[in-house]
């Protein structure tokens, strides 16, 4: 089974959460069917809330991309509830243990049912999901056809495409990922995974100086490599590092102002 990195899928799914509408309590009061199969004891609450919001958004809009959100969040919820169900209480086999197991199984059933229901859905994000999870070649063909027809619209799908094409077609991956950055430079500035992925793609294209800029910005705090070491890793002379850091800082400033001047930074 091929899988895109789960952190990337989760980050992408989270991109749809800008306008989530009513809170979870309100949704569950008005549409209990969206919540009844999920626990109410506070376990795995982040995934639970995201599942409910995804279901609500799909009910309101009919947009199949929210099914993608729900699938990804259900995966996280099932993993979380599996851990919860294995917690050992003072009384083995008691009501609490049974409740944990019950909601783990309910979550697993919901995930499997949604996977089955979306197996042939033509939406590109769902097609890519089924290929990455089940090596479904028909789903892959649907995704590639949608991409060839220029049907990958919105930040979520472009980011998925950027991840998908990172190995197959780095030039295409670069185009999609830069479009993601351009859509919201301020958000991209603090999105380490996106910056590192773009740095990786640029390095694959032998655009080492551009790769340095995004990789440098994507590194986190104490895990940041010395600039000279990063330059050498990318095949650049170590003495270029100070100038590249200065350019990276200038790029970060521009992104912080909501800009991505491609020509200035040779992108």
What is the chain's mean pLDDT, rounded?
A: 90
Q: What is the mean pLDDT of residues 166-171?
A: 96
Number of H helices and E strands in the chain, helices first, is: 14, 0
DSSP 261: -
Give yes or no for a contact between 200 and 226, defined as CB atoms under 8 angstroms apart: no
Judged against a pLDDT cut of 70, whether residue 90 lies above it is answered with no
For the chain, where are the alpha helices, taking DSSP H only? 6-14, 24-30, 45-61, 65-85, 95-117, 124-134, 137-148, 155-168, 170-183, 185-189, 192-204, 208-218, 227-233, 241-256
Among 176, 123, 164, 218, smallest CA distance to 4 is for: 164
Judged against a pLDDT cut of 80, whether residue 23 lies above it is answered with yes
Give 252 or 17, the one with higher predicted confidence.
Answer: 252
Cα 120 to Cα 87, 150, 214, distances in angstroms: 37, 20, 37
> How far is Cα 236 from Cα 98, in angstroms, rounded to an integer?
59
Give yes or no for a contact between 236 and 209, defined as CB atoms under 8 angstroms apart: yes
Judged against a pLDDT cut of 90, whether residue 12 lies above it is answered with no
State residue 19's pLDDT score. 56
> In the numeric block, which tokens belong to residue 54?
């995804």
Q: What is the mean pLDDT of residues 150-169?
A: 93
> In the numeric block, which tokens belong to residue 262?
């491609």
pTM of the model: 0.84
Q: What is the mean pLDDT of residues 87-102?
A: 73
> How far is Cα 215 from Cα 39, in angstroms, rounded to an integer?
41
Cα 229 to Cα 1, 63, 202, 234, distances in angstroms: 35, 46, 18, 9
Judged against a pLDDT cut of 90, whether residue 238 lies above it is answered with yes
């Amino acid at each position: 089974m091929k899988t895109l990195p789960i952190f990337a899928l989760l980050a992408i799914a989270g991109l749809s959460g800008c306008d989530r509408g009513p809170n979870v309590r309100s949704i569950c009061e008005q549409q209990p069917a969206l919540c009844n199969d999920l626990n109410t004891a506070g376990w795995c609450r982040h995934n639970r809330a995201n599942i409910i919001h995804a279901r609500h958004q799909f009910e309101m809009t009919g947009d199949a991309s929210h099914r993608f959100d729900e699938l990804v969040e259900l995966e996280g919820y099932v993993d979380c509830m599996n851990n919860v169900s294995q917690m050992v209480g003072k009384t083995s086999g008691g009501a609490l243990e049974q409740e944990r197991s019950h909601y783990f199984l309910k979550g697993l059933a919901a995930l499997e049912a949604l996977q089955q229901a979306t197996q042939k859905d033509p939406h590109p994000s769902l097609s890519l999901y089924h290929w990455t999870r089940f090596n479904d070649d028909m789903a892959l063909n649907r995704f590639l056809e949608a991409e060839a027809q220029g049907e990958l619209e919105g930040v979520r799908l472009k980011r998925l495409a950027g991840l998908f094409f990172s190995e197959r077609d780095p030039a295409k991956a670069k185009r999609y990922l830069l479009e993601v950055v351009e859509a919201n430079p301020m958000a991209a500035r603090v999105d380490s995974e996106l910056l590192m992925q773009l740095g990786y793609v640029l390095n694959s294209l032998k655009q080492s100086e551009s790769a340095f800029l995004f990789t440098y910005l994507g590194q986190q705090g104490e895990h940041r490599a010395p600039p000279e070491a990063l330059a050498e890793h990318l095949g650049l002379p170590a003495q270029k590092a100070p100038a590249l850091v200065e350019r990276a800082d200038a790029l970060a400033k521009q992104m912080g102002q909501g800009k991505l001047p491609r020509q200035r930074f040779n992108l």
